[in-house]
Structures are given as C-alpha cells and as structure tokens.
Amino acid sequence: MTNLTAVTEFMLMGFSSNHNMYILHSVLFSLVYMCALMGNVLVIMVTTLDHHLHTPMYFFLKNLSFLDLCLISVTAPKSIANSLINDNSISFLGCVSQVFLLLFSASAELILLTVMSFDRYAAICHPLHYDIIMNRGTCVRAAAVSWLYGGLIAVMHTAGTFSLSYCRSNMVHQFFCDIPQLLAISCSENLMREIVPIFINVVLDFCCFIFIIITYVCIFSTVKKIPSTEGQSKAYSTCFPHLVVVVLFLSTGFIAYLKPPSRFPLISDLVISVFYTMMPPALNPIIYSLKNKAMKMALQMLIEEISPKSKSSHFSFH
C-alpha cells in the first residue's frame, strides 16, 4: 500500500455544466429512482407477505429486487443531490464505497439472473422433477453463492483500483465513481493489477451470458412443442422481456469495461452507464410484476386487506 494517492476527493463530471440541464438531469433521475424504489419495495413486500409466493421463483425475485435497490441507490441519490446543490465533489472514501457497492450488487445480480434462468429452464423443461431440482436447500445455496461472488468481485476490483496513484487529476468523467474512468485519470504506469481482474471478470460474465442463452434456447424449443397457443404466448411474454433486460445489462457493461479508457469525456459513456446501473432496477419490477398474474392477484389481495383496516380506523376516529 505504498502507492496510496494524495487525492482526498474526486469531482464527478455530470452530463452538462448548464444549469437547466442540471435541473432536467435531477428530475429525470428522480423519476427513474422513485419508480425503481417503489417497484422493488412493492415486490419485496408482496413476495414476503403472501405465502402463496413462497416458491423458488419468487424467492429469487425478492433477492433480485433487494440487489436492484442497492444497485440504483449507490449512484442515483448522490448524482441527484450533486445536481440540486451544484456540487460535484465526492470524498475519497465515498468513491471507494460507490465502487465496492456497485460491483457487489451488479456481480451478485448477474449470478442471480443466471440462477433464475436455470429455474425457468427446470420449471418448463423438467416440470415433473422441478421440486426435486429446485428444493429449498438448493435455492438458499444459490442465493448465498451469488452474494458471496458479488462480495469477492467487489473486494478484488476495489483493492486493485484504489491501490493505484491518482496524481494527474481528480476529475472523474462520469456521474458516479466507475473503474474505467478512474483508470483513465490514474498516473500509475502499471495498470495490470486492475486490468487483469477486469479481464477475468469479463470472462466469467461472458460464461454466465452464454449459459443464460443456452437455457433460453432450450426453453424456447420446449415452448414450441406446447399445443396451446395461449400457453406459448404466455411463456414468450414472460421470457422475452427477461432476456432483453439481461442482454441490455450485460452488453452495456461489456462496452463500458472493455473499451480503452479515455481521458476526455464522452456523452456515450454516460448514456451507456445509465443502461447498466439504472434501467435494470427500474424495468425488473415491471417485467416480473405487471406481467405476472400471481403477483397481480397477491398485490390486489394485499390492497384489499389494508383498505378495510384504514376505513375502520377512519370511521372510529370520527
């Protein structure tokens, strides 16, 4: 740790220095964040309170919603606050925390999405053996592995990134602390201690992506054999949006981390980062809840249970 940086804070460069753009940025980010916050909290509440949803699919969905909350809460609130008070600074410790929590939640989410694709594969392709394949012990272990993997990846990258020297500049051309932009402003000549872990991580992520694609190929080939057109459309409407979000999440992440670091700000880098940090947490509740009949029924029952209580308390007050 002899290469510790003298930088005590970083400056996050947002989308624009224009005051009107600051306001627009804070409004748009606030809307996306509130949608993601309400959607994911609602999913966690419904899947916890409704005993009919205590199945492997909804167990993983609850974990996914928690990770989504973590993923978007790491970046969005700080960016919104910076835009509102017109102060782009972030402390060194704050930057370290952002990198760690972002990598932890994103890496754990990828493993969880991979497990969820296997869960759908087992449910559709091997329905008679589903309860044996996806028993409670398997589900708990799979969730634990995803969280452990996220923690290991986060520790590896955070240690590698912040063991570098930052003496050239403290301007991070991003709306949050992200590794590619931190590498671009590092004055360390040897970046291999962080580039090698990135390469290893990309290979592992690509393996997860290939596994997800293979499981969905098997799922779609099985769905084609379903005689009912209604059954086919239901399976496709459930699987296609999930696959689109996974592809969007991974492809933008690959682009952000594999392109050579640039010292000059590019608007495309900011837009790409929005797609892998903010869009999945906002879209996942819509994909898994609004299109899911069981979730709709559970939500309706929850509202009906709450409504009489609120009415009775209202009348008793008067």
pLDDT, tens digit (0-9, with 9 covering 90-100), for 253-264: 888 888 776 666
318 domain-assigned: no
pTM, rounded to two decimals: 0.86
Percent of the chain residues topping a pLDDT of 70: 86
3-state secondary structure (DSSP) of residue 7: coil
317 domain-assigned: no
* pLDDT at residue 108 in the model: 95
144 domain-assigned: yes
172 domain-assigned: yes
DSSP letters spanning 174-204: SSS--HHHHHHT---S--HHHHHHHHHHHHH
Q: Categorize the per-residue pLDDT at 65 as very low, low, confident or very high, splitting at 50, 70 and 90.
A: very high
Q: How many domains does the chain have?
A: 1
Mean pLDDT taken over the chain: 83
* pLDDT at residue 7 in the model: 72
Domain hosting residue 285, numbered range: 9-310
The lowest-confidence range among 10-24, 149-163, 190-204 is 10-24
**CATH number for the domain that contains residue 264:** 1.20.1070.10
Q: Is the confidence at residue 185, as pLDDT, over 90? A: no
* pLDDT at residue 307 in the model: 63
Q: Which residues pair with 156 in a beta bridge?
A: none
4 domain-assigned: no
Element (H, E) at 148: helix 136-161
Burial grade of 187 (CB within 10 A; 0-12, 13-18, 19 or more): exposed
195 domain-assigned: yes
The lowest-confidence range among 16-20, 52-56, 246-250, 281-285 is 16-20
* pLDDT at residue 258 in the model: 80
Angstrom distance (rounded) from CA 288 to CA 273: 23
Closest by CA position to 156, among listed 97, 93, 92, 100:
100
Which residues have C-beta within 8 Å of that of residue 53, sequence separation ≥ 6? 46, 47, 294, 295, 298
pLDDT digits (tens, 9 = 90+) for 102-149: 999 999 999 999 999 999 899 888 989 999 999 999 999 999 999 999
* pLDDT at residue 6 in the model: 64
